[in-house]
């Protein structure tokens, strides 16, 4: 349905999801759905939905232990965003000059 980079961007475009992701990154251990929803003013189901989206984007994984599902963050997929931005970063400083360089470089390609 959606390509991976779009899933990634959409996952972190929501401020609540960024907060959940952050909480998981800095957590000392994996957190159950209930533990997460305890620290967010939101229903357990709301959290479950966000976790699903983060999981689809590869940013959160789970381990099942009995009735618990412990979630933990995996920031690695964010590398893809870094990669995406790499191309544009060449225009950050003195952007006009660099754009010019880019255009000249690719003129006779």
Partner DNA sequence: AAATTATGCAACCATATAGTTGCTTATTAA
Partner DNA sequence: TTAATAAGCAACTATATGGTTGCATAATTT
Residues that bind DNA (CB under 7 A): 10, 13-14, 16, 32-35, 41-46, 48-50, 53, 65-70
Cα–Cα distance measured from residue 24 to residue 33, given in angstroms and rounded to the nearest whole number: 11
Stretches 39-47, 48-56, 60-68, 95-103: which one binds a second copy (CB under 8 A)? 95-103
List helix spans (H) across 14-106. 15-26, 33-39, 44-56, 79-89, 95-105
Q: How far is the CB of 67 from a second copy (least distance, A)?
A: 26
| Count of residues of this chain found to bind a second copy when the rule CB under 8 A is applied | 27
Q: What do you get for the CA distance between the two ends of the chain, in Å?
A: 34
Cα–Cα distance measured from residue 41 to residue 72, given in angstroms and rounded to the nearest whole number: 20
Does residue 9 contact residue 48 with C-beta atoms inside 8 Å?
A: no
Binding to a second copy by residue 78, rule CB under 8 A?
A: yes
Q: Which residues sit at the interface with a second copy, rule CB under 8 A?
A: 3, 6, 9-10, 12-15, 25-26, 28, 74-76, 78-79, 81-82, 85, 88-89, 91-92, 95, 99, 102-103
């Amino acid at each position: 349905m959606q390509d991976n980079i779009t899933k990634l961007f959409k996952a972190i475009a929501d401020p609540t999801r960024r907060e959940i992701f952050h909480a998981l990154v800095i957590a000392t251990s994996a957190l159950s759905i209930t533990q997460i929803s305890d620290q967010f003013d939101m229903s357990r189901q709301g959290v479950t939905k966000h976790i699903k989206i983060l999981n689809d984007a590869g940013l959160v994984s789970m381990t099942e232990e009995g009735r618990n599902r412990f979630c933990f963050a995996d920031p690695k997929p964010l590398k893809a965003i870094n990669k995406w931005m790499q191309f544009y970063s060449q225009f950050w400083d003195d952007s006009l000059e660099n754009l010019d360089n880019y255009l000249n470089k690719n003129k006779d390609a």
